[in-house]
Chain A
């Protein structure tokens, strides 16, 4: 790992260090990534499924455009000015905006787009600032090629995780996805998922009762994606098969985690015979093998409700701070988080990510 700062909990000014686990750098133009496509796809370029759900205020923060009016997050300087320098962030995990490749039916094209994205990361972003950490983006509908990308780009010092869309056809626990986990285990990288354009392309409905009507409803339903994926990983035995592999669930909330711990533990007692490879309560796998990011932070009627949920989910072992900069619903590290006791506070803001990503 490249070292930007000494990995101490506090810097010289006494401020708590911060690792941001969800930063969306983007491209000013599709050509930035298309340039890295192989010749057979040069005539197509970057063609991703269009949006089926639209936010009336837009998705990118309008106050965070680049100096020349480009999209927020489209230059390293933009990230430095509006995020890393402003909040004194030690490291940020760049998650991009390219996970929609998973919604394409053409596995080969999707895989090549993912490769082009990773090449763009290595060329444009990772050399720009050693606080920038990368994610190896994959097209999970092409598991063998995804495993190749993990083994290739995972060698880069600043690549700290594998990243795929929270939307998949069939749950990520299914054995056809296991080549991804074998490669990630081999490279000692966690596997993260983040929602992207759910509902579009060949996406399953992003809501358990079908396609929601509008962006409001789709946004509310995001936890269902990760509940479904966690459920699949647990029941198919991924945590038993790959006990050293960690999963990161980005931007789909976390207040549901205690509910799933309790529900899974209860069902495990009565339905264990269908999942006999789970030789301990599912909640233990959740605490040991999964992480969740904070944004969008929950804002309950009474702040103490959130504090209680943090205790219930063992946040000191499972939760990592994220801003989601520069999206419309991003969180400010100074004002968004509830008061947390130590060591929970430092673990959520910094330590959990530092341990997970080996910083």
Chain B
């Protein structure tokens, strides 16, 4: 059963910003990445810290030992506890192959008119980025050999659909 939540107007959440909302008893972070909206459960799968309150950052890669490349600027959320990094657009852990995945939620921008009782039609653009932890089973099993605290059957953090409905950001939980 999906419930519709109005988050705020598009103007109230400019690119690069995030807002934490309560929806369906959950704390959820809604992010504006250059006009695209994404929502993540505000709980890190590690120790359940407020993941979405961490730094919005980028991703460092390396083609050669001693050299650094800066990628994905503004698309990574770093948990304020222990600094695990997650891809805001998918909820996936950056340090795969551990295959920790945080749950993301769809967010849309809709018109204020929906407040007047219109159906939450949206535009049908529900991102296909929700997660199924079972698809990562094989890698998750491997993590057991590393003695990590997080095992494959830990609950992932959900992603939720977000729509823009006539300048209002709408979250479906």
Residues of A within 8 A of B (CB): 175, 236-238, 240-241, 258, 261-262, 265-266, 268-274, 276-277, 280-281, 283-284, 312
Contacts and interface: CB of A to CB of B under 8 A. Distances in A.
Contacts of A276: 60-62, 68-69
B84 interface: yes
B125 interface: no
B98 A240 contact: no
Interface centre among A262, A273, A280, A281 (most CB of B within 10 A): A273
B146 A283 contact: yes
Contacts of A283: 146-147
A273 to B, nearest CB: 4
25 contacts: A175-B66, A236-B65, A237-B65, A238-B65, A261-B147, A265-B147, A265-B148, A266-B82, A266-B148, A266-B149, A268-B95, A269-B83, A269-B95, A270-B82, A272-B60, A272-B85, A273-B59, A273-B60, A273-B85, A276-B62, A276-B69, A280-B97, A281-B98, A281-B146, A312-B147
Contact of B66 (A237, A266, A269): A237
Contacts, number: 54
B114 interface: no
Interface centre among A265, A269, A312 (most CB of B within 10 A): A269
Contacts of B147: 258, 261-262, 265, 283, 312
A262 B68 CA distance: 25
Contacts of B62: 276-277
Nearest to A268: B95
A261 to B, nearest CB: 7
Contacts of A266: 82, 148-149
A270 B83 contact: yes
The DSSP consensus for interface residues of chain B is loop
B94 interface: yes
Interface residues of B, number: 21
A269 B68 contact: no
Contacts of A258: 147
A156 B68 CA distance: 40
B98 A269 contact: yes
10 cross-chain pairs, A with B, having the tightest CB-CB distances, nearest first: A270-B83, A237-B65, A276-B62, A273-B60, A241-B65, A277-B62, A277-B65, A270-B82, A276-B60, A269-B95
The DSSP consensus for interface residues of chain A is helix
Nearest to B70: A273
Nearest to B62: A276
A38 B59 CA distance: 54
Interface in B113-153: 146-149
A284 B69 CA distance: 24
Interface string B77-95: 0000011110000000011
A272 B95 contact: yes
Contacts of A268: 95
Nearest to A238: B65
A238 B65 CA distance: 8
A241 to B, nearest CB: 4
A238 B61 CA distance: 17
Contacts of B148: 265-266, 269, 281
A203 B158 CA distance: 53
B65 A271 contact: no
Contacts of A272: 60, 85, 94-95
A265 B146 contact: yes
Nearest to B82: A270
Nearest to B148: A265
Given A265-B148, A269-B95, 14 more contacts: A175-B66, A236-B66, A237-B66, A240-B65, A265-B147, A266-B148, A269-B83, A269-B84, A272-B60, A272-B95, A276-B68, A276-B69, A277-B65, A281-B98
B68 A270 contact: no
Nearest to A282: B146
A218 to B, nearest CB: 31
Nearest to B59: A273
Contacts of B146: 261, 265, 281, 283-284
Contacts of B66: 175, 236-237, 277
Contacts of A284: 146
B150 to A, nearest CB: 9
B76 to A, nearest CB: 9
Interface in B95-120: 95, 97-98
A271 to B, nearest CB: 7
